Amino acid sequence: MTKTSSVSAAEPLTQRIGVLLINLGTPEATDYWSMRRYLREFLSDRRVVDAPRLIWLPVLHGIILTTRPGASGRRYAGIWDKKLDESPLKTITRAQCGELAAHFTENAVEAENIRVDFAMRYGKPSIAEGIDALLRQGCGRILAVPLYPQYAAATTASVADKIFEALMARRWQPALRIAPPYYDEPFYIDALARSARRAIADLSFEPEVILQSFHGVPKAVVEKGDPYYDHCLETGRLLRDALGLEEAYCPTTFQSRFGRAEWVGPATDATVKRLAAEGVKKIAVFMPGFAADCLETLEEVGGEIRDIFLKAGGEAYAALPCLNASAEGMDVITALVRRELGGWLPAREKP
């Protein structure tokens, strides 16, 4: 039997617009079983691991989901917001949602006709829950905004898959748009440059090298035609140009390797170790590919890679914050959303 949506088919869809911000995901807690549920959903996604199911699923359920939840839970525990009892990624994405919603309240017509919510590709609130929340408010038009500047099948395409899956059960579907990647958009590069300048100016030391660290992908993914690697390189080039820096002073590197496959490089961890061996004492790391700080930025770059650099002879290290819900970060999200709502936005009231 086809699974039905939790939204009643009798509820009318109107010309109201829903905007759904979507980020990667988060476990609900750091304990073993919460982590196991999150990792099972994440690592079962064919977009994330496209190995043959007959090979991958026994490894996933027999080894990884037995051993990895404990280690992953300890990593999350180091960055967990104990007061709110949630991960920083959820806190920041909620804040981005709130700031965007507040932006649309500045105009009476937009306040009446636009609703904003957020969802996670893995974990909660799920994409289906986010869509249903907007449908319950009569949104007959929905703009989904994957918060991934660079396109990858494992991120952007996976979000699209889940959106379409959620809508398959509905007889009355809303009109749908999915925002494209924005890796080379001037408003994104400008925001990154402004944020980087401000963060560097606030440091107590002057970096000798500023790394741009992006999440890595296996080389096989790129060889199959995924544009992610090229998107990262282009973002890195444009950001260097905006900051007026040479590549030797601001190289592009890749982090978060997993498994035995060969990944794109150079690797961030190996790069900071090499720099320290070459006599570089002070570095800063910026992470343009993450719209919000998360485990990979706070614990990996802010902790593990910091330790590698300092143990190799480095003296000063800084992991610069992501755009998050800062003024620069919201400039990016607002510009992207307004552009993608072209033709849907109601006419602004004349003063």
**Token code pair at residue 16:** 């109201």
CA distance 339 to 325: 19
Contact 122, 27 (CB under 8 A): no
| Token output for 131 | 């869509």
Tell me, yes or no, whether 198 lies in a domain. yes
Q: How, if at all, do strands 14-26 and 114-123 pair? A: parallel
Cα 169 to Cα 7: distance, rounded to the nearest angstrom: 10
Residues contacting residue 29 through CB under 8 Å, at least 6 positions apart: 35, 85
Write out the residue range of the structural domain in which residue 69 sits: 29-85
Q: Are residues 194 and 312 in the same domain?
A: yes
Residues 199 and 309 in one domain: yes
Residue 50 confidence (pLDDT): 87
Q: Is there a contact between 186 and 20 (Cβ–Cβ < 8 Å)?
A: no
| Residue 99 lies inside a defined structural domain of this protein | no
Number of folded domains that form the chain: 2
Other C-beta atoms closer than 10 Å to the C-beta of 165 total: 12
Q: Residue 231 falls within a domain, yes or no?
A: yes
* Residue 211, both tokens: 């790394």
Q: What is the DSSP string of 139-193?
A: EEEEEEEE--SS--IIIIIHHHHHHHHHHHT-SSPPEEEEPPP-TT-HHHHHHHH
Q: What is the pLDDT of residue 7?
A: 54
Residue ending a domain, among 85, 115, 149, is 85
Kindly state whether residue 302 falls inside one of the protein's structural domains. yes
Q: What is the DSSP letter of 267?
A: B
Consecutive 10-residue runs of the chain (351 residues): their mean pLDDT? 48 88 97 96 93 91 94 96 96 98 93 96 97 95 98 97 94 95 98 98 97 96 97 98 95 90 94 97 97 97 97 97 98 98 75 52
Spatial distance between the Cα atoms of 49 and 51, rounded to a whole number of angstroms: 6
Q: Is residue 255 part of a domain?
A: yes
d(CA 20, CA 240): 31
- CA-nearest of 25, 75, 64, 92 to 304 is 75
Asked, for residue 336, whether it belongs to a domain, the answer is no
Q: Is residue 11 part of a domain?
A: no
Indicate which CATH number applies to the domain containing 309.
Answer: 3.40.50.1400
The torsion region of residue 49 among left (phi > 0), alpha (psi -120 to 50) and beta comes to beta
Separation of alpha carbons 63 and 349, rounded Å: 60
pLDDT number for residue 349: 55
Q: Could you tell me if residue 73 is inside a domain?
A: yes
Give the rounded distance of the alpha carbon of 243 from its chain centre: 23
Query: What SS3 state is found at 114?
Result: strand
Residue with tokens 């096989």: 220
Does 81 lie in the same domain as 190? no
Q: Are 73 and 31 in contact (CB under 8 A)?
A: yes
Q: Which two tokens stand for residue 299?
A: 């614990």
The per-residue DSSP string of 9-29 comes to TTSPPEEEEEEEEEEEEE-S-
Contact 107, 142 (CB under 8 A): no
What is the model's pLDDT at position 258? 79
